């Protein structure tokens, strides 16, 4: 199937383009970007021109920042195209609900992707936790914003999510592997005095079984990056490391260990191919709901200004 990639920035170049190139399901037929392009692929700067001139491209993958994504997704869906959304699927929950309603009205597929759910050991962690009594659950997600989002000021603007841009990856894993639904009970958001979105956050959650569930997100990590989850149960301790690429049970590695985003984006594109063939929609918004609750309930603390 032919697909167009919209927004040729770092994540598109690092993950989307290689995943499409390696897939038997897809052919990258065109791109839309103000500055970026992919060698050998038709490049557009105007999205409406692409939609008008290339009706044979039935699938659109959006890699834009969250705020402009709704406008592009709406135009694509109204044109009868299937749409794949980078995370988060929109700037607000209402936008996402509107997109799903439009996709259903148009009879096309819509996919809110959560790449961290496709990390190598997430499925195994879900299986291991099933049926166990949880005592505590701790998420530690700390990375260097300068390394992963160099000069991207939009991430600290309204709708950019700040530290929840990576933090929502952790929440996508949490909402996939925990047997019981949780919800936010308290939060502290650390907001630089010259920015609109938090650079760090401390979260606490209500668990129906009384387990102690918490998360720490920080965009100021230097040196080694930390993407870890620890679940302590009555039957042992399970740890996920490297964003779900590695799993340990009572300190013993579970299966082969991977690093980085190994296999995540290829699996997303395989999922999208299956949705298009089946005429399906996958718009699970549970990770985004926790972020919205944090902005609603969180106590804000002003911290030192931040510059790239």
Nearest to 42 by CA among 80, 98, 2, 101: 2
| DSSP E strand stretches across 40-128 | 42-44, 59-62, 82-85, 110-112
Evaluate whether 176 touches 122 at the Cβ level (below 8 Å): yes
| Catalytic residue selected from 10, 78, 87, 121 | 87
CA-based radius of gyration for the chain: 19
Q: Is 132 a catalytic residue?
A: no
Name the phi and psi angles at 247, rounded to 5.
-135, 140
Closest CA to 205 of 262, 250, 160, 138: 138
Q: What angle do CA 189, 143, 204 make, to 5 degrees?
A: 35
- The neighbour count for residue 304, using CB atoms within 10 Å, is 10
As annotated, the active-site residues are: 87
């Amino acid at each position: 199937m032919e697909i167009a990639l919209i927004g040729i920035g770092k994540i598109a170049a690092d993950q989307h383009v290689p995943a499409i190139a390696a897939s038997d399901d897809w052919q990258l037929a065109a791109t839309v970007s103000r500055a970026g392009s992919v060698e050998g692929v038709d490049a557009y700067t105007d999205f409406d021109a692409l939609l008008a001139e290339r009706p044979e491209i039935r699938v659109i993958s959006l890699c834009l920042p969250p705020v402009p994504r709704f406008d592009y997704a709406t135009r694509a869906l109204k044109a009868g195209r299937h749409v794949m959304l980078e995370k988060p699927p929109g700037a607000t929950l209402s936008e996402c609900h509107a997109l799903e309603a439009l996709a259903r009205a148009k009879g096309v597929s819509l996919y809110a992707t959560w790449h961290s759910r496709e990390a190598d050991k997430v499925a195994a962690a879900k299986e291991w936790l099933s049926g166990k009594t949880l005592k505590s659950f701790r998420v530690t997600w700390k990375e260097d914003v300068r390394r992963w989002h160099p000069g991207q000021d939009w991430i600290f603007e309204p709708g950019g999510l700040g530290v929840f841009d990576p933090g929502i990856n952790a929440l996508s894993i949490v909402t996939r592997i925990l047997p019981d639904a949780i919800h936010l009970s308290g939060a502290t958001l650390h907001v630089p005095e010259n920015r609109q979105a938090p650079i760090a956050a401390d979260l606490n959650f209500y668990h129906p079984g009384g387990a102690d569930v918490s998360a720490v997100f920080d965009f100021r990590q230097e040196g080694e990056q930390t993407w870890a989850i620890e679940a302590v149960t009555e039957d042992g301790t399970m740890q996920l490391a490297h964003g779900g690429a590695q799993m340990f049970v009572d300190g013993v590695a579970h299966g082969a260990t991977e690093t980085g985003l190994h296999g995540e984006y290829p699996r997303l594109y395989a999922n999208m191919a299956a949705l298009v063939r089946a005429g399906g929609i996958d718009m699970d918004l549970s990770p985004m709901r926790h972020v919205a609750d944090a902005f609603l309930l969180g106590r804000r603390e002003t911290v030192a200004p931040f510059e790239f």
